[in-house]
Amino acid sequence: MSEDPINDSGIEIKALYSAADLAGWDSAERLGDPGQPPYTRGVYPTMYRGKLWTMRQYAGFGTPESTNERFKFLLGAGQTGLSCAFDLPTQMGYDSDHPRAEGEVGKVGVAIDSMADMRLLLADLPLDKVTTSMTINSTGAVLLLMYELVAEEQGVPSTAI
């Protein structure tokens, strides 16, 4: 191949790069240190050498109470984060008593219809000590707000979640 390939942005890609290609390139500005802006080397100074990655199992059983019990079991067994599976009506923004939710409530995850449900789901969980992943789409903003409100009720500052 006699000419250098061009990427989708129209930039020529050399077959071999050397230190000469970095002339005038400021590594402190462009690359930074780990844990410092622009975060090209990771968001934490020591990344996974200083702390293992979060271990979480995707879980969600029909009711908030059952899922809460499972979360407590998983945390007790060494899990370091939570990953909440929601049922299809919750994912679509339907209450459990909506006709379109019939036959789907609690089937593939936990049903969350209200703040009361979210309180039951998160009861006695150390929200300031674990991170929580919520696999959700269109109703994500509503469920995130519910999560934040329950944390606030538990006395957990928003900076800790």
Q: How far apart are CA 139 and CA 75, in angstroms?
A: 26
130-157 per-position pLDDT tens digit: 999 998 888 999 999 999 999 999 999 9
Highest mean pLDDT among 25-34, 37-46, 89-98: 89-98
Interatomic CA distance for residues 92 and 137, integer angstroms: 8
Same domain, 62 and 123: yes
97 within domain boundaries: yes
Q: Are residues 94 and 37 in the same domain?
A: no
Please state whether the predicted TM-score (pTM) of the whole model is above 0.95.
Answer: no
Query: Do 81 and 156 have their domain in common?
Result: yes
Same domain membership, residue 124 and residue 93: yes
Query: Do 72 and 151 fall into the same domain?
Result: yes
List phi, psi (to 5°) of 71: -60, -45
Indicate whether 155 and 114 sit together in one domain: yes
Residue 49 covered by a domain: no
Percent of the chain with pLDDT over 70: 99
Residue 67: pLDDT over 70: yes
Residue 70 lies in a domain: yes
Residues 32, 69 within the same domain:
no
Number of domains in the chain: 2
Q: How far is CA 108 from CA 34, 67, 94, 142, in A?
A: 39, 12, 15, 20
Q: What is the pLDDT of residue 1?
A: 52
Residue 87 CA to residue 70 CA, distance in Å, equals 16
Whether 84 and 143 map to the same domain: the answer is yes
Specify whether 32 is located in the same domain as 58.
no
Domain that holds residue 69: 54-160
Q: Which pLDDT score, from 0 to 100, does residue 57 have?
A: 93
Whether residues 142 and 70 share a domain: the answer is yes
Cβ atoms 130, 161 nearer than 8 A: no
| Whole-number Å distance between alpha carbons of 135 and 22 | 41
